[in-house]
């Protein structure tokens, strides 16, 4: 019996980025590659269940997708004969030169982060095309409504088409100009793995986080003098170090304050802390380095009660210089609650934009609960629950809400 459709699609998910990167390099056209690989999937779905999986699935995917791309080029009358001939010649006899970025997926990320696009469009489009995140997940990452994100993606693709923006692999000299967008992509991919949306399974979340860490390591190897690349890797490693303690024995979510720190991954934590110290010695702070420093303060503390919250607040003050967003202000308010009390923190939170961000309402609920305002806390938990699809977060919020004193 041949493979099921789900098994065929699993093979393509594993080889998708490599196939797109290879075809983009050969044809100089990301859109053509994005069309050709799904065409190959359609052929596989029609033939593999009867014929079985080929001995080399990766080679089959690349060969079939290349043939589909060539067929598409021959059919398109809008392309000049010279362009078609050059593409066909390139596909038939690909140059053997060693690329600046050796890894297929990382090379595709750099290629997609074209400076002609606005930064949010670069990141959003790369998350969609390379990381495979769906529009709802990307919208949540940017904290914007899904229709707005869908329009942003459409506009970005239209600009690429209308302006004839070439999707070519950047030279070594061009990499620094694209680094900030590439770092943002890796960071947001990790976030989807760390705190997945309702569309991401546990296994896919672990895989996404692992892929983000892998890409962050490659970035440090590629650009070892870039402090922000090291800062991002440190941040991801310190986050991954906590993964073993983030679930209880029954699978429920465990807050940082309640985690068994003895269960943290010591090797990952040590590596992350060493990277933070390297960044501190370098003395050229940036947003990822500061976030890593905040994570390091939590990691250094033997327990939640021993956390140096004053230092955390000071680091969030520094982070606001680089990223003056309501998300950073919210996290700063959470730290302020441990220094100046929940009343002062609630005053800070009340001044933030509360449109659609569930963690803001969850924070309000926690602060109100600590102030003894159970009725208002219950309403805030209800709002937070209505705004999140993540089952683990929903379970945690439900449990917190259920522990509130009963209304009189």
Q: Please say if the pLDDT value at position 151 is more than 90.
A: no
The predicted structure's pLDDT at residue 135: 81
State which of 22-31, 71-80, 188-197, 257-266 shows the largest mean pLDDT: 257-266
- The residue out of 194, 224, 254 marking a domain boundary is 224
Is the pLDDT higher at 30 or at 279?
279
Give the residue-averaged pLDDT of 333-337: 96
pLDDT, tens digit, for every residue of 244-265? 999 888 888 899 999 999 999 9
- The residue out of 58, 92, 126 marking a domain boundary is 92
Question: With contact defined as beta carbons under 8 Å apart, do 182 and 113 qualify?
Answer: yes
Angle at 108 between CA 107 and CA 111, to 5 degrees: 90
43, 124: one domain: no
Give the residue-averaged pLDDT of 70-91: 56
The predicted structure's pLDDT at residue 173: 84
78, 9: one domain: yes
Length of the chain counted residue by residue: 408
Integer Cα distance of 263 and 269 in angstroms: 11
What percent of the chain is helix, strand and coil (3-state, nearest 5)?
75, 0, 25
pTM of the model: 0.75
**What confidence tier does 388 reach under pLDDT thresholds 50, 70, 90?**
confident
Is the pLDDT higher at 262 or at 164?
262
The predicted structure's pLDDT at residue 380: 94
105, 212: one domain: yes
75, 115: one domain: no
Q: Please say if the pLDDT value at position 95 is more than 50.
A: no
The answer to whether residue 297 is domain-embedded is no
Q: Which of 107-111, 162-166, 329-333, 370-374 has the lowest mean pLDDT?
A: 162-166
Question: With contact defined as beta carbons under 8 Å apart, do 188 and 132 qualify?
Answer: no
- Pick left, alpha or beta for residue 48 (phi over 0 → left; psi -120 to 50 → alpha; otherwise beta): alpha
pLDDT, tens digit, for every residue of 108-150? 788 888 887 788 888 888 787 767 777 888 877 777 778 888 8
**What confidence tier does 94 reach under pLDDT thresholds 50, 70, 90?**
very low
* Number of domains making up the chain: 3
Give the residue-averaged pLDDT of 379-406: 90
Q: Please say if the pLDDT value at position 96 is more than 50.
A: no
- Domain residue limits at 65: 5-92
Query: Per DSSP, what are the bridge partners of residue 35?
Result: none
87, 143: one domain: no
The answer to whether residue 400 is domain-embedded is yes
Dihedral angle over CA of 279, 282, 287, 291, nearest 10: 30
The predicted structure's pLDDT at residue 82: 45
The predicted structure's pLDDT at residue 93: 47
Give the residue-averaged pLDDT of 314-336: 96
């Amino acid at each position: 019996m041949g493979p099921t459709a789900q098994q065929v699609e699993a093979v393509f998910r594993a080889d998708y980025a490599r196939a797109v990167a290879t075809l983009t390099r050969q044809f100089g056209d990301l859109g053509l590659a994005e069309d050709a690989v799904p065409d190959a999937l359609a052929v596989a779905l029609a033939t593999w269940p009867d014929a079985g999986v080929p001995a080399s699935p990766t080679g089959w995917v690349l060969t079939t997708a290349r043939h589909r791309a060539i067929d598409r080029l021959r059919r398109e009358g809008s392309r000049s004969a010279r362009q078609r001939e050059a593409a066909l010649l390139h596909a038939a006899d690909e140059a053997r030169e060693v690329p600046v970025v050796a890894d297929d997926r990382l090379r595709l990320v750099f290629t997609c982060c074209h400076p002609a696009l606005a930064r949010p469009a670069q990141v959003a489009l790369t998350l969609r095309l390379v990381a495979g995140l769906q529009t709802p997940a990307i919208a949540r990452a940017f904290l914007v409504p899904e229709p707005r994100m869908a329009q942003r993606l459409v506009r970005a693709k239209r600009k690429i088409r209308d302006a004839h923006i070439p999707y070519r692999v950047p030279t070594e000299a061009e990499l620094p100009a694209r680094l900030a967008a590439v770092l943002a992509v890796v960071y947001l991919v990790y976030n989807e793995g760390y705190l997945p949306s309702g569309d991401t399974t546990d296994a896919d979340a672990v895989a996404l986080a692992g892929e983000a860490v892998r890409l962050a390591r490659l970035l440090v190897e590629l650009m070892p003098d870039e402090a922000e690349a090291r800062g991002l890797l440190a941040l991801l490693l310190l986050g991954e170090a906590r993964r073993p303690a983030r679930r209880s024995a029954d699978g429920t979510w465990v807050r940082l304050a309640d985690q068994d720190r003895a269960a943290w991954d010591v090797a990952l934590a040590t590596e992350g802390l060493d990277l933070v110290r390297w960044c501190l010695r370098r003395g050229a702070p940036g947003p990822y380095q500061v976030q890593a420093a905040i994570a390091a303060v939590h990691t250094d503390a033997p327990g939640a009660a021993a956390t140096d919250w004053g230092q955390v607040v000071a680091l969030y003050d520094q982070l606001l210089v680089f990223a003056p967003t309501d998300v950073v202000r919210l996290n700063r308010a959470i730290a302020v609650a441990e220094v100046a009390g929940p009343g002062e923190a609630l005053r800070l939170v009340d001044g933030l934009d509360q449109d659609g961000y569930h963690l803001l309402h969850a924070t309000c609920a926690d602060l109100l609960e600590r102030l003894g305002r159970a009725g208002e806390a219950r309403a805030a938990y209800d709002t937070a629950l209505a705004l999140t699809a993540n089952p683990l977060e929903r379970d945690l919020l439900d449990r917190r809400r259920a522990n509130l004193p009963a209304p009189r």
